[in-house]
Amino acid sequence: MTRFRGCIDIHAGKVKQIVGGTLSNDTDTGLKTNFVATLPSSHFATLYKENGVTGTHVIKLGPGCDDAAIEALGVWKGGLQIGGGITSDNAQFWVDNGAEKVIVTSYLFPNAQLDLTRLRQLHDKVGKERLVIDLSCRRRGDQWIVAMNKWQTLTDTKINKQTLEFLAGYCSEFLVHAADVEGLCRGIDEDLVVALAEWSPIPVTYAGGAKSIDDLALINRLSGGKVDLTYGSALDIFGGTLVSFDACVVWNREH
């Protein structure tokens, strides 16, 4: 059964919701922000903890985010996942600071190519059960290409059955942001959801474009309950008007 999973996106030390394709490594000139919190990261971590929203991910979007991330993790030791700048050198640090799992993307793709040595190092450091691979992607025709560096750089890796089956040997979950629709609240990439359900042998969380509480039922139907959903900019706790956090919690309790 599809579940609602939470997110806490941190940029420049503050919880924000950002239009995915506008985030750049070099400058914030073109950055489009849907929401900037006045409350600390711990506030949102507390909300998720008190309502049992397991699998929630904390994502550090660039420098200056470590303190806010540690603050969130401290609220719910062993209950939150952490991503953004994760490497084999610092993964254990985040586990020691309370992360249930670490989420990795760009580190696995130096020069935009999948590095199996790095993948194995991370696996050996924290173990399969504590590792989540973020395969956030951009659509190119009828294919999805893994994107790194805040979704600005396309890698050599396509999301397909072969890729997911191989990588599933090293991690316990996949996190997939559909970067082309992330933050737009104009609807999910239904084809990608169907493909993820068909191809992945391990749990998958999808994020990107969700705009209605009905998207939980839609993804449940499209994926046969195999894919979970994260809401971002549409959610009322992030200033959105389209989806109620309380309604998402009720969905989880009733399903």
pLDDT tens-digit map of 183-216: 778 899 999 999 999 999 999 999 999 999 999 9
Exposure string for 155-182, b = 16+ CB within 10 A, e = fewer: bebebeeebbeebbebbebbbbbbbbbb
- Give the tokens for residue 175: 């996190």
Q: What token pair was written down for 245?
A: 């956090």
Q: How confident is the model at residue 242 (pLDDT cuts 50, 70, 90)?
A: very high
Kindly report whether the global pTM for this prediction surpasses the value 0.85. Answer: yes
For the cut 90, the answer to whether the pLDDT of residue 23 exceeds it is no
- 181 vs 49, higher pLDDT: 49
Q: In this predicted structure, what is the pLDDT of residue 28?
A: 55
Six-digit token string for 55: 């699998």
What are the two backbone dihedrals, phi and then psi, of residue 114, each rounded to the nearest 5 degrees? -60, 125
Per-residue pLDDT reduced to its tens digit, 121-172? 999 999 999 999 999 999 999 999 999 887 889 999 999 999 999 999 999 9
CA distance 123 to 228: 23
Distance separating alpha carbons of residues 39 and 42, to the nearest angstrom: 8
Per the DSSP assignment, residues forming a β-bridge with 122 are none
Q: In what order do the strands lie in the sheet with 153-158?
A: 137-140, 143-148, 153-158
Q: Which two tokens stand for residue 23?
A: 């985030």
